[in-house]
């Protein structure tokens, strides 16, 4: 890095080509380490995962090629179907819920109130806690003798009841994730220039109209960012499902998610080829949904 | 408290005051909803086992026996040290590498930049669960399963952080760095002395989120240390094992949860000030 400092001084006028070359070399140097990490631990494994998915592959390594056999196993495995269905249902409900919550709270905290620091910290607080700690607390609160039942007068054990287990995880994660989403929206709200609002105030636009016509559309990059990042995050739901079911995805597969399937196939029965194939399928689902999101929310500018 | 303050403001119409009052009551109600479970967690950790099935906020009697269980039967001191080490190293690496790469993608022109940036966006789309098996195989071949190097290596920099930094650098006016460059500063010096300080709010957000992310990470520690590397257990992995072992020992489970949350809460409170200062600086700049 010290070398870059010394050799990249702005040269005297006239050596335009030299400065261009220097800028280019510096650019490559600066992105070298991140690109190497992305290449070795993301992009190469992407191809390697597809390769492994065509093998009978155990804990000790490659056994023999099986063609599309692992995919055909997935196609006929009702457990895998349930895992995909649970994961999609979870994502389709939790993401809009946590975005609406996060944006609402961000708008209120941003609305020139007193004690905004306190409220922002209060709403962000559940996002701080680890999934393991928060799930542990939730297991206690939603147990048969827990806080929730004493308030509503029921006796349901929410996480071990087949009908409510997945939706309890939805509630839990909407609660804990909205604070993080609020932070992203707050940052985006503060980037909106105030003269835009001054113009709206001159036109005597109502608060709702100002929000709908100005704030919401101006937040488009934030919407896209939050939707993609947290949508992908939701599809990867694992920790909570693992913990509430003791790593089994029960009761009766109610909390069996796609990633839990991958984990159990890999480290439960050491079927690495099958687990890799499930990972490829999950990737395709994530990829298609990302494309769909992009089409509905609007195109994102790639170039600077 | 806040409601009274709002009413004390002179010269505002009554409807404005009423609207404010409703907002504050709502805010306080939601804040309670967010806080009460944590208060409950702390007080439960001081309850006795038979008392913990009673839905009362206050312990009766107060006891520290749950805390003794956590400290004496589980190695939470070691877990805390392991988690802290990993979180500090991974966060520092991400701050530096995502900043450097984000700056290059935002500002420097080099052939193939758009193509490389597409690869970064592509990396964003590769879920950890797709790379799980190949990365596990790679790390096994390199004998990096069950030690910290493997964990740090695969988490040195994320595409999310690099993308985030690039987006922030794009919003900074070019005048600042042009001034620095005219003063004869090289690219690295411009990045280190001018651009990184200007990106204070983004750095603060990245630090908080990455530290939190690594501290709270459960998936990779489970994969890399879960097969018997108890000496490398992080707080989250230790707590998870605790949950599976002590199904309904609520006071001990709550004590473990408090241990998992408290350090990161302290760090958040310390960073909160920096964060607010950063946001204020961003406002002045615009």
CA distance A178 to B118: 29
Structure tokens at A40: 């070795």
pLDDT tens string A154-207: 888 899 889 999 999 999 999 888 888 888 888 888 888 878 777 777 777 777
pLDDT for A212: 85
Question: Chain A partners of B218 at a C-beta cutoff of 8 Å?
Answer: 130-132, 239, 242
pLDDT for B11: 63
Of B73 and B8, the structure prediction assigns the larger pLDDT to: B73
pLDDT tens string B259-270: 999 988 887 788
Query: Given CB atoms, is B134 within the 8 Å cutoff of chain A?
Result: yes
Give me the percent of chain B exceeding a pLDDT of 90.
41
**CB-based contact B201 A125, cutoff 8 Å:** no
> Which has the minimum average pLDDT: A38-42, B8-12, B98-102, B217-221?
B8-12
CB contact at 8 A, B140 and A52: no
pLDDT for A71: 97
Query: Given CB atoms, is B9 within the 8 Å cutoff of chain A?
Result: no
Mean pLDDT across B148-158? 96
CA distance B139 to B134: 9
CB atoms within 10 A of CB B16: 12
Report cis status (omega within 30 of 0) of the bond before A142: no
pLDDT for A135: 95
CA distance A132 to B14: 47
**CB-based contact B218 A239, cutoff 8 Å:** yes
**CB-based contact A30 B156, cutoff 8 Å:** no
**CB-based contact A128 B157, cutoff 8 Å:** no
**CB-based contact A302 B286, cutoff 8 Å:** no
Q: What is the pTM of this model?
A: 0.83
Query: Given CB atoms, is B130 within the 8 Å cutoff of chain A?
Result: yes
pLDDT tens string B32-70: 877 788 888 999 999 988 888 777 778 888 888 889 888
Question: Chain B partners of A42 at a C-beta cutoff of 8 Å?
Answer: 123, 126, 131, 159
Q: How far is CA B190 from CA A53, B95, B220, in A?
A: 46, 16, 36
> Can you list the residues of chain A whose pLDDT is less than 70?
1-17, 296-304
Question: Chain A partners of B124 at a C-beta cutoff of 8 Å?
Answer: 228, 232
CA distance A270 to A45: 18
Average pLDDT, chain B: 84
Mean pLDDT across B210-223? 92
Query: Given CB atoms, is A65 within the 8 Å cutoff of chain B?
Result: no
Query: Given CB atoms, is A155 within the 8 Å cutoff of chain B?
Result: no
**CB-based contact A187 B2, cutoff 8 Å:** no
B286, pLDDT greater than 50: no
B1, pLDDT greater than 80: no
CB contact at 8 A, B69 and B45: no
**CB-based contact B129 A247, cutoff 8 Å:** no
Q: Which residues contact A75 (CB under 8 A, 6 or more apart)?
A: none
Question: Where residue B275 falls among pLDDT bands split at 50, 70, 90?
Answer: low
Question: Where residue B276 falls among pLDDT bands split at 50, 70, 90?
Answer: very low
CA closest to B114 among chain A residues: A303
Q: Look-up: residue for tokens 């065509």? A: A54
pLDDT for A47: 95
């Amino acid at each position: 890095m010290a070398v870059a400092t010394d050799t990249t001084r702005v040269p005297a006028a006239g050596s335009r080509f030299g400065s261009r070359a220097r800028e280019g070399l510096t650019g490559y140097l600066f992105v070298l380490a991140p690109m190497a990490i992305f290449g070795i631990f993301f992009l190469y494994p992407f191809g390697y995962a597809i390769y492994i998915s065509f093998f009978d592959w155990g804990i000790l390594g490659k056994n023999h090629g099986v063609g599309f056999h692992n995919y055909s196993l997935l196609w006929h495995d009702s457990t895998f179907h349930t895992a995909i269905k649970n994961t999609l249902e979870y994502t389709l409900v939790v993401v809009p819920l946590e975005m609406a919550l996060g944006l609402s709270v961000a708008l209120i905290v941003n609305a020139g109130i007193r004690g905004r620091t306190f409220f922002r910290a209060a709403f962000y607080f559940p996002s701080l806690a680890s999934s393991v700690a928060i799930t542990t607390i939730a297991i206690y609160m939603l147990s048969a003798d827990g806080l929730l039942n004493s308030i509503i007068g029921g006796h349901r054990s929410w996480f071990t009841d087949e009908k409510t287990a997945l939706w309890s995880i939805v509630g839990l994660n909407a609660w804990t994730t909205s604070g993080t989403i609020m932070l992203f929206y707050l940052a985006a709200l503060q980037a909106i220039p105030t003269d835009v609002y001054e113009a709206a105030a001159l036109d005597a636009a109502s608060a709702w109209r100002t929000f709908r016509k100005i704030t919401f559309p101006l937040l488009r990059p934030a919407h896209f960012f939050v939707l993609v990042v947290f949508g992908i995050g939701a599809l990867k739901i694992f920790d909570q499902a693992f913990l509430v079911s003791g790593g089994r995805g029960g009761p009766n597969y109610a909390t069996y998610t796609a990633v839990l399937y991958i984990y159990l196939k890999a480290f439960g029965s050491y079927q690495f080829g099958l687990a890799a194939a499930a990972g490829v399928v999950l990737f395709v689902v994530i990829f298609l949904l990302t494309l769909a999101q992009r089409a509905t929310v609007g195109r994102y500018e790639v170039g600077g | 408290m806040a409601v009274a303050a709002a009413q004390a403001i002179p010269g505002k119409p009554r409807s404005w005051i009423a609207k404010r009052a409703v907002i504050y009551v709502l805010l306080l109600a939601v804040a309670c909803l967010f806080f009460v479970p944590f208060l409950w967690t702390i007080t439960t950790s001081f309850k006795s086992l038979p008392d913990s099935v009673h839905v009362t906020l206050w312990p009766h009697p107060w006891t520290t026996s749950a805390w003794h269980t956590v400290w004496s039967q589980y190695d939470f001191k070691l877990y805390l040290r392991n988690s802290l080490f990993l979180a500090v190293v991974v966060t520092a690496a991400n701050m530096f590498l995502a900043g450097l790469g984000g700056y290059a993608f935002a500002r420097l022109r080099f052939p193939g930049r758009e193509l490389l940036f597409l690869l970064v966006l592509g990396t964003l789309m590769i879920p950890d669960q797709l790379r799980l098996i190949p990365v596990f195989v790679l790390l096994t071949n390199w004998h990096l399963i069950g030690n910290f190097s493997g964990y740090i290596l695969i988490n040195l920099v994320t595409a999310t952080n690099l993308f985030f930094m690039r987006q922030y650098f794009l919003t900074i006016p070019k005048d600042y760095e042009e001034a620095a460059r005219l003063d004869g500063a090289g690219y690295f010096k411009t990045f280190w002395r001018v651009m990184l300080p200007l990106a204070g709010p983004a750095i603060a957000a990245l630090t908080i989120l990455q530290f939190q992310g690594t501290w709270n990470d459960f998936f990779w520690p489970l994969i890399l240390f879960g097969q018997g590397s108890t000496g490398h257990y992080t707080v989250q992995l230790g707590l998870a094992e605790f949950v599976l072992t002590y199904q309904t020992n609520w006071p001990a489970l709550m004590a473990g949860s408090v241990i998992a949350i408290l350090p990161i809460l302290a760090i958040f409170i310390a960073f909160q000030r920096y964060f607010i200062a950063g946001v204020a600086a961003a406002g002045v700049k615009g």
